Homo-oligomer: A and B are copies of this chain.
Amino acid sequence: MLVEFSLQTDREGFYDISSYAAKTAAEFYRIEGKGDAECLVYCPHTTAGITINENADSDVIHDMLLGLSKAFPDRAEFRHGEGNSHAHLKASCVGSSVRVIVRDGKLLLGTWQGIYFCEFDGPRQRRYFIQIH
């Protein structure tokens, strides 16, 4: 099962999309009845990514965006005319997709884990895919 989602982002931010993955996994189980499955969340953009991290204290997200900007700042030596090479770097650092194990229609996320769409070069209209199989 493959479902496409879209979202409107700010300049940068982490957007918790766990509930959409959970709903898709439950729907897959209702239709297919397959107990042992996998969920792939995929970002088709090059200045955004997907990661799994803390879902409780939003200060963690603030700190992660800050820490990524310090590790991958804009640099005078960069050549790319759009001026968003730092965002391309962050996208490859967090990665373009995550996988979560699915059991009987439920995501096997840890207690404090959420799935995030990571915007590094917004605001933009973005999309992502959730595939269960």
Contacts and interface: CB of A to CB of B under 8 A. Distances in A.
Given A46-B54, A103-B2, A88 B63 contact: yes
A23 interface: no
A124 to B, nearest CB: 12
Interface of A is mostly: mixed
A92 B94 contact: yes
A126 to B, nearest CB: 10
Number of copies: 3
Interface in A16-71: 36, 38, 40, 42-46, 51-54, 57, 59-60, 62-64, 66-68, 70-71
A53 B60 contact: no
Interface range, A side: 35 or more
A87 to B, nearest CB: 10
Interface in A100-119: 100-101, 103, 108-113
A81 B59 contact: yes
A43 to B, nearest CB: 8
A52 B100 CA distance: 18
Contacts of A51: 92, 95-96
Given A46-B110, A101-B131, 9 more contacts: A42-B108, A46-B60, A59-B81, A63-B80, A64-B89, A67-B85, A68-B89, A96-B113, A97-B98
